[in-house]
Structure formats: C-alpha cells, structure tokens
Structure 1
Amino acid sequence: MTIVGALALYFVIWWTVLFAVLPFGVRSQAESGDITQGTEPGAPALPGLRRKALITSLIAAVVFAVVWYVWANFDL
C-alpha cells in the first residue's frame, strides 16, 4: 500500500466512523429545555464536536491499523 493509498483509506475510514459517532450523547435543545430563538428545537444543545473528532480519530486509527495489518500480512 502506498502512502497516498494509506492516507486515502484513513480519510474514508475517518469519515465513516465520524458519521457513526455523531449521534452518541446528543441532547436536543428541546430535551435540555434551552431553545435558542430562530433555531430548530431538534438541533443539538451542545454537539461536542471536538470530543467526537478525537474519538473518531482514535477509532479510525485502530480500524486502519487492523486493515493495514491484514493487507500487509495476508497479501490482499
């Protein structure tokens, strides 16, 4: 696997994991009781994107390491 291929694979894995991680721990403005005027009540009150990006990066690194190991050792 070339470095460009590895980066492309990590990029795809990272975005896939991000979409899986985004819904966890989200409370809507309606659930928290603090609706900002002019916004959708179902919008997240505190999305926590920095924390989710960190979690996504860690999970994506583990998934990438497994894929790379299988790719390198089983000649796929």
Structure 2
Amino acid sequence: MGPTSAAVLFAVIWFLTLLCIAPMRLKTQQDMGKVTPGTQSGAPEVHHLKAKLWITTGVSVVLFAIIAGIIVSGWITVRDLDMFHRMGPGA
C-alpha cells in the first residue's frame, strides 16, 4: 500500500467514524428548552465537537492500524473479495 492509498484509507475511516460518533451525547435546542426563533428545534445546542474529534481520531488510528495491517500482510487480498470471479486464474 502506497502513501496515497494509506492517506485515502485513513480519511475514509476518519470521516465514517466521525459520522458514527457525531450524534452521540448531542443536546438539541428542543432538549434544552431554548428554541431560538427562526431556527430548527433540532439544531444542536451542546455538541462537544472538540472531544468528538479527538475520539474520532483515536478510534480511526486503531481501525486504520488493524485494516492496514490486514492489507499489508496479505491476509485478505483483492482476489478473496472477487465474488463474481472477474479475475481469472491467470490474473
């Protein structure tokens, strides 16, 4: 795996992790009982974004290490994921 592939893999893992972590412990304006006129009642009031970014980075580093280790070791290859047998025996 080259450096560009590793960077793209880490970015994908990081953003997917952020999308999973972002809604946790989210307090909306409606939950807090203070809806600002002209805004959506589901708009975040307390979001703990800095902590969520640190958690996202930590989880992403661990997941990246596991996934990159599997890819680099050759334990799972593209040929293992070829469900439709597009890669012939000589490929």
Note the C-alpha offset of 1:30. Answer: 0.8
Aligned residues: 76
TM-score, normalised to structure 1's length? 0.90
Is residue 47 of structure 1 aligned with residue 47 of structure 2?
A: yes
| Percent identity over paired residues | 30
**Pair member with larger Rg:** 2
Q: Which has the larger share of helix?
A: 1
Q: Where in structure 1 do 4 or more consecutive aligned residues deviate above 4 Å?
A: none
CA shift for structure 1 position 74: 2.8
Higher relative contact order (CA 8 A, sep 6+): 1
Alignment RMSD:
1.2
- Runs of at least 5 residues in structure 1 that lack an aligned partner in the other structure: none
- Deviation per CA, 1:20-55, whole angstroms, max 9, x where unpaired? 111100111111112222211111111222111111
1:61 equivalent in alignment to 2:38: no
Structure number with higher strand proportion? 2
Q: What residue identity is the alignment partner of 1:13?
A: I
